[in-house]
Amino acid sequence: MSITTTSFGIEEALSQLGLNEINNGTSTGSENFASGATIASYSPVDGSLIGKVVTTTPEDYEKVMETATTAFKQWRRIPAPQRGEIVRQFGNKLRELKEPLGKLVSFEMGKSYQEGLGEVQEMIDICDFAVGLSRQLHGLTMHSERPGHRMYEQYHPLGVVGIISAFNFPVAVWSWNTALAWVCGDVCVWKPSEKTPLTGVACQNIIAEILKENNMPEGISCLINGDYKVGELMTHDKRIPLVSATGSIRMGKIVAQAVAARLGKSLLELGGNNAIIVTPDADIKMTVIGAVFGAVGTAGQRCTSTRRLIIHESIYDQVKEAITNAYAQIRIGNPLDQHNHVGPLIDTDAVNKYLNALEEAKNEGGTILVEGGVLQGEGYESGCYVKPAIVEAKNSFNIVQEETFAPILYLLKYSGGIENAIEQQNGVVQGLSSAIMTNNLREAEHFLSANGSDCGIANVNIGTSGAEIGGAFGGEKETGGGRESGSDAWKVYMRRQTNTINYTTELPLAQGIKFDL
């Protein structure tokens, strides 16, 4: 990998993360396996070339898999609390490198520096969670119908876990998977987004150092780089029992079919088309804060970003005025400048999709309340900075039914009771995150009931964006049904086994079956 000179003081961060000292980005530790073409990482902040990473060829991939499968044979025999100790050390190292890694996330992906720091904090939090979990990988004991028998369940490591992550959370989602997989006794092969490869290399450097210090096999954590063709190597590989993939619905369907064809397991975290319902009993000030951050945070490039605001007709004009006034205060610019609220989109392809979505919304009859557009001039040379836009629309619009990864907020109106708002909210194919703003207990409980939100995440009086690692993260319908991070999400990384022990001198059969010889 080659690193170019960059601005905004990023050079020191790159040095602290070891990105000036390695040859390529597919190292699994001390060995380098990459021999393919290079992919370049350009910062959407200023358009500068940050570095080039060598991609993984099929031959390189085989070497990586050999390293990973060999490491698994040793790693699975290490007691879970000792595996947790490795994760604890990894979390502590992340604490030391939080600022440079957060800065790199901001510069390579384009989210604000505060959000970059927050993403690294998520990594630290999941490490803490996983350390405690390493002593709680519990099974169940149950009574046998046969006298002198004991039955119980236990969980064993799966093997090699394949991870495909997206550009918008280039480090956090990987850590959600790896921290849990590692304490469960699995090893991991990670393909980060080709749009943010350097953050992947930085994370690999950090864990490789920890593994080396503890005399652990380097193959516990492996990194491969490249486009979708590299990802296909994992999805079709029978040596990988679980593929965890984060990305678009289109990508997820391809991964799911490929993995299912070989009877593997897939954990899918796909698109979101998230709505906030605003009832007549809502706190308007709270609503505005939650909706604006949800819509413009990370420039609308979160899977949990707020896309739709479903407002009761009795307060529609009041909320519309408050939201549009709030948008006038948004500062757009270099995300490393903490005075700015919104940074750039990831690349010019994303900009074009944003512009096309606004045009389609107008063609379908939408009314532009806050004009969008691409920013130009000093500080916007990358061509990736756009204005957050607000559009009055209808839920039935084709463009509203889609997820546009950009800061476009659709205002929708509902009348009557809360059931009508929930019908609109659920009336999309995605089912990730949802929220209701209300001080009415009955409305809140209805929203959380079986007749309410059909999403994997349902919030009351907070926005759709900003999940904590303690709860299971994921969504329903075409969002994929996967669950990562907290709660009992660890079980997906393990295989369940039922055991029966006979401690008598006889062999009674279940269901009272007689079989005498």
Catalytic residues: 269, 303
DSSP state, residue 57:
P
CA 36-42-45 angle, 5° bins:
165
In the chain, % helix, strand, coil (3-state, to 5) comes to 40, 20, 40
CB 60 within 8 A of CB 31: no
Q: Read off the amino acid at residue 337.
A: D
Other Cβ atoms less than 10 A from the Cβ of 405: the count is: 25
Going by C-alpha positions, the residue among 343, 324, 323, 325 that lies closest to residue 333 is 343
CB 186 within 8 A of CB 72: yes
List the alpha helices (DSSP H) in 113-248.
Answer: 113-133, 172-183, 197-213, 228-235
CB 244 within 8 A of CB 162: yes
List the alpha helices (DSSP H) in 145-187.
Answer: 172-183
CB 185 within 8 A of CB 157: yes
CB 90 within 8 A of CB 59: no
The 3-class secondary structure across 230-293, one letter per residue, is HHHHHHCCCCCCEEEEECCHHHHHHHHHHHHHCCCEEEEECCCCEEEEECCCCCHHHHHHHHHH
User: What is the distance between the alpha carbons of residues 171 and 193, in angstroms, rounded to a whole number?
Assistant: 10
Tell me the residue ranges of DSSP E strands in 345-453.
367-370, 389-392, 408-414, 430-431, 433-437
Please count the CA atoms within 13 angstroms of the CA of 244 that sit on its side-chain side: 29
Three-state secondary structure call for residue 204: helix
CB 324 within 8 A of CB 429: no
Going by C-alpha positions, the residue among 194, 239, 255 that lies closest to residue 68 is 239
DSSP state, residue 415:
-
CB 456 within 8 A of CB 479: yes
Phi, psi of 181 (to 5 degrees): -60, -40
Going by C-alpha positions, the residue among 253, 204, 243, 242 that lies closest to residue 224 is 204
